[in-house]
Amino acid sequence: MTEVLLEFFKAMAHESRLRIVGLLAHGERSVQDLAAALDLKEPTVSHHLAILKAQGLVTVRAEGTTRWHALDLGALERLSRRVLEPEALAGPTAAEGDERVLRGFVDAGGRLKVIPAARRKRTVVLRWLARAFEPDRRYSESEVNALIQQRHPDSATLRRELVGHDMLAREAGVYWRLPESRWLEGGPA
């Protein structure tokens, strides 16, 4: 929880990356564009972009061999807003709350006993479930089902919920875990 915030700050806490964000605020840029504007070598820019992408702050669109990078203003807004949520800063208290919920719904063997009906509790459980997936790895639908079924038999419902909360993404039958900065708190909008 506060972990997400820490990674966000780390990503922004470097002059080169902050300048990249500033440049992308004006519009799409290629790696070469950025390298020229910042007076850095391309590998260095790639490195910084990878960090920003890992936080979901930057998205990419391929066009031939060049890749156009853009700023995700939504993610930026969501993350910076989180700074002011007392629970985010008050850290331990919030995390303890989550743990209490999990202790209630997850048995000693790490299996989900029942899917909570209350929205807030269900979100806590979904976050726990989403963290079972490795970031930056692609899963087939059957792999997703297998991973979920290790924890609860109703993989269809849970898979759908994970996608609905923007914790997993799906395209052409392939799934992957989205950065936590994208995860929705409340549920599908």
Partner DNA sequence: TTGATAATTCGACGGTTGTCTAATTAGATA
Partner DNA sequence: TATCTAATTAGACAACCGTCGAATTATCAA
**Footprint (CB under 8 A) of its own copies, residues 16-35:** 18-19, 21-22, 25-26
Q: Residue 63 phi/psi, 5° resolution?
A: -145, 100
* Shortest separation between residue 15's beta carbon and its own copies, angstroms: 6
CA distance 117 to 45: 45
Bridge partner residues of 67 (DSSP): 62
Residue 61 has which token pair?
A: 């669109």
Element (H, E) at 100: helix 92-105
**Footprint (CB under 7 A) of DNA, residues 64-103:** 64-67
Of positions 60, 90, 132, 174, contacts DNA by CB under 7 A: 60
**Footprint (CB under 8 A) of its own copies, residues 71-130:** 76-77, 80-81, 83-84, 86, 89-93
Helix, strand, coil shares of the chain, percent, nearest 5, are 55, 15, 30
CA distance 79 to 139: 27
CA distance 34 to 126: 38
Task: Name which of DNA, its own copies, none residue 140 binds, using a CB cut-off of 5 to 8 Å depending on partner kind.
Answer: none
Residue 112 has which token pair?
A: 């989900």
Of positions 9, 27, 46, 81, contacts DNA by CB under 7 A: 46
Residue 13 interacts with its own copies (CB under 8 A)? yes
Of positions 44, 59, 166, 170, contacts DNA by CB under 7 A: 44
Residues making contact with its own copies (CB under 8 A) = 2, 5-6, 9-10, 12-15, 18-19, 21-22, 25-26, 76-77, 80-81, 83-84, 86, 89-93
